[in-house]
Structure 1
Amino acid sequence: MFSRQSGAVGLEAAIGVSYQDFQGGLVYKGDSLDLNNDLRFNRAAQFIGRVKIDMPLIIPNLYLMATPLRFDGTATHNLSFKFGDQTFNAGIPFSSTLKLDHYDLGFYYGLLFVKQATLGLINIDAGLNIRVFDLKTEITQIAKLESKSFNLIVPMAYLGLQVKLTSSFSLEGEFRGLVYNGNHYYDLIGRVKYYFIKLAFVSAGYRHEEISMDQSDIKLNVRFSGPLVEVGFQF
């Protein structure tokens, strides 16, 4: 979304679907469980939504994004394993879920000198992103149940890039990231946008996320990546 003239307000909104592959592991006060080999999580389409508001004058622009993520699966282990305070038996099927919803609120400014130097063809945004994680993981096996949930607020750096190719096509990239105390959070998005009418567009792209956290007895090291498609409007 390119910066507007002083005093003007711009709005961009989009909804879409991503289909993400995943790999990594999960520990909750016990054994390490691989999301694919141990928990047998299934791939599924995930809905996404975002809104960008270009504010006037020196007020920072806003970027809101919602990314619900939920995976589940059913598996059987040859060996017993511990998850939380429960020990789950070998040879008996168990079901597991991982919810890792995250919600972003970004504050950013466009680097005006870049847009001016490129005659409006390139725009770079920089700012602060506040991400709220809503995590819940659960395993059930017959009468046994163990779960853990918590919320986590993470401040992240934000960088955005928009390249105007023609009046109908543009390229966009977004980066959000933080590294601290052995934890890291990376989120990269790339998309191609096509304006099929003046104010409406469709886009296709790719998203890659890496999450490494050790919080509230949960150790999570995962990577999510896959294609996404969107439809939206901008004015």
Structure 2
Amino acid sequence: MVKQRTIWLVVLIWVMAASSAHAVGLEAAAGGWYQDISGDASYRADDIFDFLEVDDDLNYDSETRLHGRVKIDMPLFLPNIYLMAAPSEFEGTGLKNVDFDFGDFEFAGNVPFFSKLTINQYDVALYYGLPFLRTATLNTLNIDIGINVRIVDVEAEVRQSATGLSETQDATVPVPLVYIGVQLTPLDWLAIEAEGRGMTISGNSVYSLIGRIRLDIFGPVFVAAGYRYDKVDVDEDDVDVDLDLKGPFAEVGLRF
């Protein structure tokens, strides 16, 4: 898994370095996303009792995690590039009232157990703006359409001290998505933005919605705030997660 993550990181850095030399515009932002999680997770589930419910069994609290994004506007005819990273990690001590299987082990019911669930999401999108729309609307409205690959990196751990049982498994799933972005700029210093990504393919589903209000402060500096909702339903290497991640975010960035 570490090797896979390193490979993807190298690819992203290479794309950014190779593209920025020819870019005509650049936007980069980083901030915090307050994440609320719901849904379920399992590893080699045999029946419904092996699915661990976030609300009923795992006892996770909401968390605030860093996120970041980079948009690179390319010259005419070349697709623009959008990179985004949103790591998530939750842990807690839970309790399930029946025995359950997780991987190769059967964990005891009504006995507390510790669990940790990591869901890191990385996006690489290639997109074009609708021709002439920005010009026709006097730089007020722009719509982007493209393709997006989301790399979903999942790791699940369950550990029960009373029984001495522990199991960990991870999986990495690349999911191709359709990307649509809309930017409305009623004032030079104000933008209202929306982004949608989604597709169901080969039994895996990922859907993501982002709404954002951006305020230009001075020079290239801006601040933004919004709301993000992700639906992640993937099954890979016997790791099955069906999760909703949602919550507000705030960020600061630069536009050139």
Q: Same fold by TM (over 0.5)?
A: yes
In 2, distance between residues paired with 1:121 and 1:113? 12
60, 63, 78: which one pairs with 1:59? 78
Q: How far does residue 123 in structure 1 lie from its aligned partner after superposition?
A: 0.4
How many angstroms apart in 1 are the aligned matches of 2:58 and 2:237?
21
Q: Secondary structure at the match of 1:38?
A: helix
Distance 1:19 1:103 in 2: 17
Structure 2 CA distance for aligned equivalents of residues 95 and 233 of structure 1: 41
Residue identity in the other structure for 2:105: Q
Q: Give the corresponding residue for 2:192.
A: 171
Alpha-carbon separation, structure 2, partners of 1:118 and 1:20 = 36
Number of residues of Structure 1 aligned to a counterpart in Structure 2? 229
- 1:118 partnered with 2:137: yes
- Residue 131 (structure 1) aligned with residue 154 (structure 2): no
Verify the 8 A CA contact 2:80 2:126 in the aligned structure 1: yes
The structural deviation recorded for 1:198 is 2.6
- Cα deviations by residue, 1:148-175 (Å, 9 ceiling, x for unpaired): 1111111111111100021111100111
Amino acid in the other structure paired with 1:226? G
One-letter amino acid of the counterpart of residue 220, structure 1: V
Moved more, 51-60 or 82-91: 82-91
1:20 partnered with 2:35: yes
Residue by residue over 1:91-118, the C-alpha shift from the partner in whole angstroms, topping out at 9 and shown as x without a partner, is 3321001111011111111112221221
Q: Report which of the two has the higher share of helix.
A: 2
Match of 1:48 among 67, 71, 81: 67
Residue of 241, 247, 254 corresponding to 1:226? 247
Matched, 1:33 2:52: yes
Q: Do the aligned partners of 2:172 and 2:236 also contact (CA within 8 Å) in 1?
A: no
Computed over aligned residues only, the root mean square deviation of the Cα atoms, in angstroms, reads: 1.4
Aligned position for 2:214: 193
The residue aligned with 2:224 is 203
What is the rounded CA distance, in whole Å, between the counterparts of 1:150 and 1:75 in structure 2? 23
Q: Please give the TM-score of this superposition, normalised by the length of structure 2.
A: 0.86
- What residue in structure 1 maps to residue 103 of structure 2? 84
Give the Cα separation in 2 of the matches to 1:153 and 1:123. 28
Which amino acid is the alignment partner of residue 126 of structure 1? Answer: I
| Partner secondary structure for residue 249 of structure 2 | strand
Q: Distance in 1 between matches of 2:61 and 2:23?
A: 45
Q: Please, which runs of 5 or more residues in structure 1 have no aligned partner?
A: 1-6
The 8 Å contact of residues 65 and 88 in structure 2, kept in 1 or not, is answered as yes
